[in-house]
Structure formats: structure tokens, C-alpha cells
Structure 1
Amino acid sequence: MENDIHIKTAVLHILDTSVNFPVLSDKEIELSGETVEFLEKHISKIFEDTNLKKAQFIGEVNTIKDICNALKEDSGRFMEVTRAIGVMTFDFMLKNIDISSGDLICCHFHAGNEPYLALLKLNYKTGFTHYVNQMEEGAVNSIIRYKTLLPSDGQKVDEAVLISLETDEIKLIEKAYEINGTKEFYMSNYLIKCTTDLSDNQKLKIIDKVTQKISKKYYDEDFDKVAKLKKVVSEGLEEKSEIRVDEIAQEVFDTNLAVREEYIQEIQKAGLIEEAIKVPEKLAEKKFKTHKIKTDTGIEINFPLSYYDNRDMIEFANNPDGSISIIIKNVGKIINKR
């Protein structure tokens, strides 16, 4: 079970480019109750993150892969290999100043019975805290801006890599930064050196973006097409916990074979080549349970997707002058929301 996380060893290396050198730890973190809980919570959240991408090592020469093999053969080399990763990462950050400073936590852990190496880059957050200044006349309490706060266990980690020491499979969350004048994913392209699949979030964004593009091109941004897309996807998820691109095309653009074909081709060109897409329950709940529309008069309406085409709840009527009337029905009470 991926949620059954057991931390074996962990170390924290400070990668603050304002200092111009990495502060590498000589000893592992003492795994107290609070620290273990902090790490386990973050790793569990990473496994479940909808931005998580699967990846595979590439290249005949791959330093991180060699490091993982060394750790697999001898877990006693944990400090040695994580210090090497810290130096590699910091050297790249120094050459590319757009990359956020942060603390690199390296963990050797088990998910179920599978051993992993985790690299959690905890980018610094800016916040405020109190400061006590002892003066001759007594203590003076003040508020100061603190620039190196770590994300709490309730927040998401911006950048993380989980590498199976059993299968070499990689799971990662990464951020794009400006590298040589272009926004790039430095973790997968330069440090880990791996090819990545699309995350669940990216797959759904592609479907949504292409649907709106085709809708704008052929149907003058018909909101009905986007609502219908969501309803088709929602119904498919309830039945099979997956969505099929060909079924979406058939349902949404049923009367036009040429548009259906173009829709599928555009999705494939965007990098989504899978016929069936598994969608996690949390993401399905977030993306496909409600639908939000905004009129050109500034009115916004957010309604349950199950109400779409249910004329007992909401009706969209086309008027002779080309305008649209929206009629919301069977309302028992209106609640003001701030």
C-alpha cells in the first residue's frame, strides 16, 4: 500500500543560493514522532497529488540512476549519495537564478514493502513572526519578515521525486523555471534525466482546452458543448472510473464526423494518446460535479452538473432577439454568501 509509509532514514541539506554554497548535513535527521509524521504526511500527499507524473530514466550515463543503484546495493551509503545529490542540485540552481531556494530533504522509506528514495525540495515561503530583542531597558517584542519558512504538513510540496529502488520507476512533481531564457522543467530534463508521462491534471486540462478550442472554432464558444462534455465525462466516471476520448467526441460532436476526427487529432497532438484515462475520485469530484458559467452582463452561476438539461431545475431559453434567458426553478430558499 502506497499510503503505508515507513521512514527508514532522512537527511536535510540547505540549498539557499543567497549564501553561495550548500549547507550539507553530516548526520541524518533524528526521527522523532513529529518529524516522522511531517515526512509521512508529505510523502502520502505526493503519492495522491493529481500533478504527479510517472517517469523513466533515460541516457546511457545517468548519475541519479547510478546513485539509486548504489543505495540499492548498500543502504549505508545514504549520506554519501544524498550529499552528492545536494551538490548537483545546488550547482544547477546557482547557474539558474530563477529556481527557488529551499531545503532538500532526502528520505529512504518503504511504501508497503517497496523501498524508495524520496527527494523533497521544500521551497522557502515568506511569512511574519515575532522577534524578541533584549535591550538595556528590557525586552522589545516586534514583528519581522521571515524568508525561509518551510511548508507546513498541511501544504503541498512544490517539487518532489519518488524513485523506486526496486523497479527504478519514478514519480515526480516539478515546477517550470526559466532556464537559458525558456521556461523548462529542470528536474526531469537536467537533474533526474527522465522522460515523463502526463499527470492526471494535465490530461484533463488538455481535454478541456481542446474542447473549448473546437467549440470556439465551429460553435462560437457554445457553452452547451462544454457543459455536455462535463456531463459525458461525469457519467463515464460514475460507471467505469475512466473516460474515453472517442466516446467524448461522439457524444459532444455527434452530428459532424469531420469535427469529431479533428477533436481527437488535436488531443493527440497535445500529447494525450491514451484511449482510456483513469481519473482519481478526488479530481473527478473537483472537476466534474459542478459547472460554472458567466454571462456578458457579469452574472456568474455555479450549478450541479446533474441539473444540466434538467428543465425542472434550470432552463436556458433562446429569445427571438438572439439573447438567452436563464430560468432557475424550484428554489425553496436563497442564502447570501460572502
Structure 2
Amino acid sequence: MAEEIIIKRAVLHILDNNVTMPVLSDKELDIDEDQSNFIGKHIERIMSDNNAKMARFSDAPNFIRDICCEIKLNPDFFLQGSIGIAEGLFSIMQKNVDIPPADLICCLFYYESQPHLGILKLNYKTGYTHYVEQGEEGNINTIIRYRTLLPSESQKADECVLINLESLEMKLIEKAYEINGEREYYFSGMFLNCTTQLSDNEKVKIINKVAQKISKKYYDEDFETAAKLKKAISDSFEETKAIQLDNLVEEVFDKNVEIRNEYMEEIHKAGLTEKSIPIPEKLAEKKFRTHRIKTDTGIEINFPPSLYNNKEKIEFVNNSDGTISIIIKNVGKIINK
């Protein structure tokens, strides 16, 4: 666990909506090394998760915000506050049967010297383990199915929020479930009552999805448009550690102002309003450091976007019969993978 995460207090409540009441703990956890590592690893994963969204409480009355403010002033209120949080969440779960049962861990921790409240809803996983039954003929070892296993420290928590008690800024991970006949994000909308920003992953998906839509509309899904996009994003990230949207559209759709304006309009409609979008390096590495193409003959080629238009390395030749030839040049060695 990273040294800057220090777990001060923690408590576990059982929220199984198959029964009528939550099982609330009257005592905090005695945090040993194993428990500290388990909770700390989950917090680390939330902090670095590209699907996490930044959020803030709405201006309306909010019992979670009130609990956070009370815990900040009086840390001894933590246990009582966690019970209020668990009861509020369980009430929502009882009214909406598609929300899965879980154990709820509330924890008070410090991250980079700032106090935080963590609310981790650990939805149950189904797994198998051994069971020893003693009979007249001795031990009988068998396999049984467990419905209430917690996600391991290497697995992501499906629903959780980390709240900075100084600024009340939140980092949130949530899933949509059916609420009143429609799929909704109940964790932010009904439980936390907060407004959310797009996650890093959502921003990248919008940039790619809108580019694909424009490419299909105007370029018949020409692979060159996708290659230009990857190269422009990769170049932008190398220079500024962010995606500069104005530079991006100018480089990808340079010959048509109308298409550039349509791309930006679609981006804004999707909720992406920033002109400069910082992207974590791991996400950039995963999404933009390699461009992958697949031919209708089943051949797949991966190459760095920086090599696009570098005819000394790879060349795309439009043949007179409408087909495309791909020529890979100046290869010193071929490695089987």
C-alpha cells in the first residue's frame, strides 16, 4: 500500500437486501496489517481508476454532506455517521431490487495529508471453496458455492466514493441499475445527490466515438481518418500531456471547416466542453500509443501512430482496382509473439 494512504478508522456494515434489516456494526474494525492493506489497496485502485468521476455535492440539503462535515469537526462521530450512511443506502436498495447486496466499508483515512471519508460498497461475488464434512466413514471433502464473497484487493470495487473532508470534492465509481424501469446511476443521483464530471475514460470514448461518426458520414470510415486522429492525439500528449481539441480537429479535418465545426458541436453535445483535456499517462499509453488496423482478409497490423505517413517505414498504396496494398519497409528483424 502506498505510504501516503493512512487508514485511521474503519467499520463494516452488511447490506443484504434479501433480508429486511441491515446488519450494522456497533464497533469499529481493529485495523491490523491485513485489513489496512485490503482497504488501502482498494483506495489506491479507486484513486488511479480511469473510470472514476470527479463529483461535488449539489446545493440542496444533503445528509451525506452533513455527516462528512460532522466527522471533520469530530472524528469520534465516525461510527455513528457510518451507521447513518449504511441506513440511507440500504433504504434505497430495499426499494430497488436490482441493486446488488454488499458489504459496506466506511473508512476515515489520510491521503497526502488530507482527511478523506471512503464509502466502499463491495458487491458480493460468487465463488467456490472446499468444505470438510465429518461422517461415520471419516472426513468427506467437497466443493461448495459461496454467494457472499467480497472482491479481492486486486479486483475493483463496483461502487464507491472517496470524499475529501476539506474540500468536499469526491472521486466516484458507480454502475447503472434499473430504477423505476430505466437504467440510472442511483449512487450519485439518489444516494450522494451530487453532480458528476466525465471520467477520463468517458472523455476518450467521446473523442473516438465522434471521430468515428464523422468518418462514417463523410469519409466512408476511411482508416486514414482514424490513423490521423491517433497520431494527432499522440503528438498532442507528447507535447502537453493533454489533448488539445482545437489542434486536434485542425490536424485531422484540416481541409473542411464545416466538418471541424460539426465535430466540435458533437463533442459539446456529448458533454465534453474543455478545450484542453489532461489524460493520465497509463490511459494514453493504452489508448493512443498503438494504432491497430484489420483488413477484410483477416490480417491485423499494429504500429505506432507516429509512423503514419512515414513512407520509409510503412506505406499504404491505393491500387487502380480499388484495393489497398500495405508495404512494411526497412525491417531489420521479425519477432514471433
Same fold (TM over 0.5): yes
* Aligned mates of 2:302, 2:20 — CA distance in 1: 50
Q: Which residue of 1 aligns with 2:166?
A: 166
Q: Which residue of 1 aligns with 2:78?
A: 78
Q: Which residue of 2 aligns with 1:196?
A: 196
Answering whether residue 265 of structure 2 is matched by residue 232 of structure 1, we say no
Answering whether residue 93 of structure 2 is matched by residue 100 of structure 1, we say no
Q: What is the CA deviation profile of residues 189-238 of structure 1, one whole-angstrom value per residue up to 9, with x for unaligned ones?
A: 00000000111111111000000000110000111111111111111111
Which segment drifts farther, 14-23 or 135-144? 14-23
Q: Which residue of 1 aligns with 2:155?
A: 155
User: What TM-score do the two structures reach when normalised by structure 1?
Assistant: 0.95
Q: Which residue of 1 aligns with 2:89?
A: 89
Contact kept in structure 1, 2:163 and 2:170, CA below 8 Å: yes
Answering whether residue 253 of structure 2 is matched by residue 256 of structure 1, we say no
Matched position secondary structure for 2:161: strand
Which segment drifts farther, 149-158 or 254-263? 149-158
Sequence identity percentage: 59
Answering whether residue 43 of structure 2 is matched by residue 43 of structure 1, we say yes
* Aligned mates of 1:303, 1:165 — CA distance in 2: 45
Matched position secondary structure for 1:70: helix
Matched position secondary structure for 1:187: helix
* Aligned mates of 1:306, 1:130 — CA distance in 2: 53
Q: Which residue of 2 aligns with 1:210?
A: 210
Matched position secondary structure for 1:61: coil
- Residues 1-338 of structure 1 aligned to structure 2 (within 5 Å): 4-337=4-337
Q: What is the CA deviation profile of residues 88-146 of structure 1, one whole-angstrom value per residue up to 9, with x for unaligned ones?
A: 11111121111122111000111122111100111111222111111121111111222
| Deviation (angstroms), 1:332 | 4.6
* Aligned mates of 1:311, 1:151 — CA distance in 2: 49
User: What TM-score do the two structures reach when normalised by structure 2?
Assistant: 0.96
Structure 2: tracts of 5 or more residues without a match: none
| Deviation (angstroms), 1:18 | 2.2
Contact kept in structure 2, 1:104 and 1:121, CA below 8 Å: yes
Say how many residue pairs are matched: 336
Q: What one-letter code is carried by the residue in structure 2 that aligns with 1:292?
A: R
Q: What is the CA deviation profile of residues 242-289 of structure 1, one whole-angstrom value per residue up to 9, with x for unaligned ones?
A: 111111110000000000011111101100000100111111111111
Which segment drifts farther, 157-166 or 16-25? 16-25
Contact kept in structure 1, 2:234 and 2:306, CA below 8 Å: no
Matched position secondary structure for 2:160: strand
Q: What one-letter code is carried by the residue in structure 2 that aligns with 1:48?
A: S
Q: What one-letter code is carried by the residue in structure 1 that aligns with 2:39?
A: L
Q: Aligned-residue CA RMSD in angstroms?
A: 1.5
* Aligned mates of 2:179, 2:263 — CA distance in 1: 33
Contact kept in structure 1, 2:42 and 2:153, CA below 8 Å: yes
| Deviation (angstroms), 1:3 | 6.6
* Aligned mates of 1:180, 1:321 — CA distance in 2: 56
Contact kept in structure 2, 1:108 and 1:116, CA below 8 Å: yes
| Deviation (angstroms), 1:334 | 4.4
Q: What one-letter code is carried by the residue in structure 2 that aligns with 1:275?
A: K
| Deviation (angstroms), 1:72 | 1.7
